[in-house]
Amino acid sequence: MVIFIGISFLIDGIRYGVEAFRKIKKEKNYKFQILAAIGNISVIAVIIFANRFGTEWIISIAGAWRIFGTAISIYHSEEGKIETSGEDVIKSLGLPDTESVKAAVNKISKEESARYPVDKSWIILFLILLFIIHLGRMGFDKTSLGLLSPAIALFGDIVVALIITFGIITPLRAVFKKVTGPVIRKLWAWVEKVPPDKRKKYGLRNIVNKYLEHRLRLSIRIRNAGYSFKSAFMTAMQTGLPYAAILAAIIPVFGMSWYFDTENWAAGIWDSWAASRTDKWRMAITRSVNELPGTDAFRIYPEGVSGNSDFSFIVVGDPGEGDASQLCLKDQIQIVSEKPDVKFLIISTDIIYPSGEMKDYENKFWLPMKGVYKPVYAIPGNHDWYDALEGFTATFFEPKAAYDAMTARVASDLKISASTPEHINDLIKEAARLRENYRVPTGFQRSPYFQIQTDEFAFITIETGVVRRIDEDQMKWVKEALEAAKGKYTMVLMGHPFYAIGEYQGSLNPDFQAIHQLLRDYKVNLVMGGDTHDLEYYVERNFNDDPENVLYHFVNGGGGAYLSIGAAMKPHDEMPEKEWAHYPATDPLINKIEANNSILKVPAWYWTKNLGGWPFNAEFLSAAFDYNNSPFFQSFFEIRVEPSKGTISFIPYGVNGQLQWKDIETSGNIIPPDKTPESGVEWVYELKAN
């Protein structure tokens, strides 16, 4: 980063120095350019001096200097006017000051003025059509989200048009203009040797003249764009909007989703909105059901799970795409759920993408889960909060608790909401209708988090919202549940993992790290988290200054969303713990990506594979390589709790059944010595407290 900053200032210093040299030759005022060159070069000296104070100081000083320099540049810049843009273009291009050139400029200026209403009309029509296309693809459910989401996608198209125009096309044209400038000036001189009335109608000079006028028109448009926001916007729409429309059409076809599809940009807006409200909403929701405080608060009692009985359950993480990557697991989830020992199923985090809305539940929850007849519980992920948790609440809460929870949430927002009592009742009725039609048992919860306690096993869920944080009510409840779990094997299911994509995530914010420390202090046995879309395993040892301490971590987010590739791309010696495993393994994943990549994705893949996505990471670019075709690497877990054997087992399944050790990439100390690569993967631990 420091090298990058230094080079940027060096380039600017050289650029201003060259400009000063040119002005000296032309006997023009060059003081500003000399000072600017000295100012930019001096930053390099400041960087060298400030290096001992750390990168933060360098970035701060360089950023302040850049802002100051930009302000000075703006102050000294010449102010242009649209009325004189043609003359400015003639001067900047060094064209001959002849009557024919002036006539061409006047002609173009008049034509541009005349076509402005036409351009304005087709741009407005184009934007309306794009909005309708987004509305049709994203669905309209007569809510504020139903209108705002496609509107945000349309705004994304406008942003893409601006980027294409001023970030790609304009710089390329500037370079091309610079390179071809001498040739253009000679062509103008050659064309003018013959007066317009003496040229052949289809002669070479007229053809060249048409091309030169076209170049002149583009230059005038770009010049005008620098003189007013209105002109800049119109230029961007004229130039970039058709390309943005093409991208809006083809990007889903090429499998570039999330960050690359403007229809998913709305989720980013709802993310920021929900992040600031989640704690308040959650407390309003949980308080509304009037649960008695204590160690049994928000406890659920699945049939067949009590005392010292043996039982199993399934955990599926991040399933809600509603496409082939989710449906590829449908048969295996159904097969495993039919085992007599399996008593319930839990969906953990991001039940519905992109915004948790009820309109998406049929295709992304009920249809994929059809055939599961065991009770289904869930904890929400960040995407489920984007509609204020309404779709989730209507689906997984008891009907009365759902009504009370949504009503309390509206009250917490001072009733500034589109969720009227009629709308809330409609959501609950729709959930009941879908439950009856698909026969998947839901509607047993009274909170977004809950606990299950037996004599020797405690299962506690922690709902970490959008920003990996819990509210004061949930923190109090977690501590009470952990107290009740003392002396038992304790498993915690969380919305976010502490280890993921080959990195420690606990330090992302102090609140999240505090949760981690709390679980360490209570000597929790195992933590499973979703949110990251793959299967990962880490063994954390020797914390709290005790060499006997051990805490196992699973990432279980491979239930249907696009695959995260962070852990797979991480060098083995950079993994956060010495004992680790991840699925999919690196080679099969890379082979699939490279077999499906189009030429458009080659630069992004090179950036990801060889540069780690710097200055971001491989995880950031995962969505660019989302291919909904086989081989699939999605996964879920069956957890067997067997007091009769004194063990608890964690068994991962893929699209073709139980995973084998050869499917998983591991450190050298993970595979049991009595297992072969063809053995089924199974992590087995003693069913006892730490």
DSSP 615-635: TS-GGGGGGGG---SSSP---
Tokens of residue 139, six digits: 């669905």
Q: What is the mean pLDDT of residues 481-504?
A: 96
Q: Specify the range with the lowest mean pLDDT, choosing from 64-78, 562-576, 627-641.
A: 64-78
Q: Specify the range with the lowest mean pLDDT, choosing from 388-402, 417-431, 632-646.
A: 417-431
Q: Specify the range with the lowest mean pLDDT, choosing from 65-79, 178-192, 219-233, 442-456.
A: 65-79
**pLDDT value, residue 553:** 98
Q: How far apart are CA 3 and CA 141, in angstroms?
A: 51
Q: What is the mean pLDDT of residues 471-479?
A: 97
Tokens of residue 20, six digits: 């000063």
Q: Specify the range with the lowest mean pLDDT, choosing from 35-44, 45-54, 413-422, 489-498.
A: 45-54
In degrees, to the nearest 5, what angle opens at C-alpha 562 toward C-alphas 559 and 564? 95
- Give just the sign of the alpha carbon dihedral 177, 180, 181, 186: negative
**pLDDT value, residue 142:** 57
Nearest to 369 by CA among 313, 415, 329: 329
Q: How far apart are CA 338 and CA 522, in angstroms?
A: 35
Going by DSSP bridges, is the β-strand pair 526-529/550-556 parallel, antiparallel, or unpaired? parallel
The confidence band for 257, taking pLDDT boundaries of 50, 70 and 90, is low
DSSP label at 250?
H
At residue 527, φ and ψ (nearest 5 deg) are -120, 130
Torsion of CA 540, 544, 546, 548, to 10 degrees: -40
Q: What is the mean pLDDT of residues 629-648?
A: 97
Residue that is written with structure tokens 């040229």 in the block: 199
Nearest to 115 by CA among 220, 226, 208: 220
Q: Specify the range with the lowest mean pLDDT, choosing from 169-173, 415-419, 460-464, 671-675.
A: 415-419
Residues linked to residue 492 through DSSP beta bridges, in sequence order: 460, 527
**Cβ–Cβ < 8 Å for 346, 379:** yes
**pLDDT value, residue 78:** 66
Judge whether residue 505 has pLDDT over 90.
yes
In degrees, to the nearest 5, what angle opens at C-alpha 501 toward C-alphas 376 and 552? 60
Q: What percent of the chain has pLDDT over 70?
A: 97
Q: How far apart are CA 468 and CA 447, in angstroms?
A: 18
Q: What is the mean pLDDT of residues 251-266?
A: 66
Judge whether residue 403 has pLDDT over 80.
yes
**pLDDT value, residue 141:** 59
Going by C-beta distance under 8 Å and a sequence separation of 6 or more, which residues neighbour residue 454?
A: 305, 306, 307, 308, 309, 488, 641, 643
Model confidence over 50-70: pLDDT tens digits?
777 777 888 888 888 888 888
**Cβ–Cβ < 8 Å for 106, 90:** no
Model confidence over 129-160: pLDDT tens digits?
988 888 887 766 555 656 777 888 899 899 99
**Cβ–Cβ < 8 Å for 318, 530:** yes
Judge whether residue 256 has pLDDT over 60.
no
**pLDDT value, residue 92:** 80
Going by DSSP bridges, is the β-strand pair 647-654/636-642 parallel, antiparallel, or unpaired? antiparallel
**pLDDT value, residue 296:** 92
**Which residue type is seen at 264?**
N
Average pLDDT, the chain: 90
Omega prior to 195 cis, within 30 of 0: no
**Which residue type is seen at 465?**
G
Q: Specify the range with the lowest mean pLDDT, choosing from 177-181, 333-337, 338-342, 580-584.
A: 177-181
| pTM metric for this prediction | 0.81
Going by C-beta distance under 8 Å and a sequence separation of 6 or more, which residues neighbour residue 603?
A: none
**Cβ–Cβ < 8 Å for 49, 6:** no
Judge whether residue 632 has pLDDT over 70.
yes
**pLDDT value, residue 478:** 97
Q: What is the mean pLDDT of residues 121-136?
A: 89
Model confidence over 411-450: pLDDT tens digits?
999 887 778 999 999 999 999 999 999 999 999 999 999 9
**pLDDT value, residue 134:** 84
Q: Which of 80-84, 92-96, 646-650 is predicted most confidently?
A: 646-650
Going by C-beta distance under 8 Å and a sequence separation of 6 or more, which residues neighbour residue 615?
A: 1
Q: What is the mean pLDDT of residues 618-642?
A: 92
**pLDDT value, residue 136:** 80
The confidence band for 636, taking pLDDT boundaries of 50, 70 and 90, is very high
The confidence band for 326, taking pLDDT boundaries of 50, 70 and 90, is very high
Going by C-beta distance under 8 Å and a sequence separation of 6 or more, which residues neighbour residue 671?
A: 661
**pLDDT value, residue 532:** 95
Model confidence over 352-389: pLDDT tens digits?
998 899 999 999 999 999 999 999 999 999 999 999 99
**pLDDT value, residue 144:** 60
Torsion of CA 133, 137, 138, 143, to 10 degrees: 60
**pLDDT value, residue 252:** 64
The confidence band for 602, taking pLDDT boundaries of 50, 70 and 90, is confident
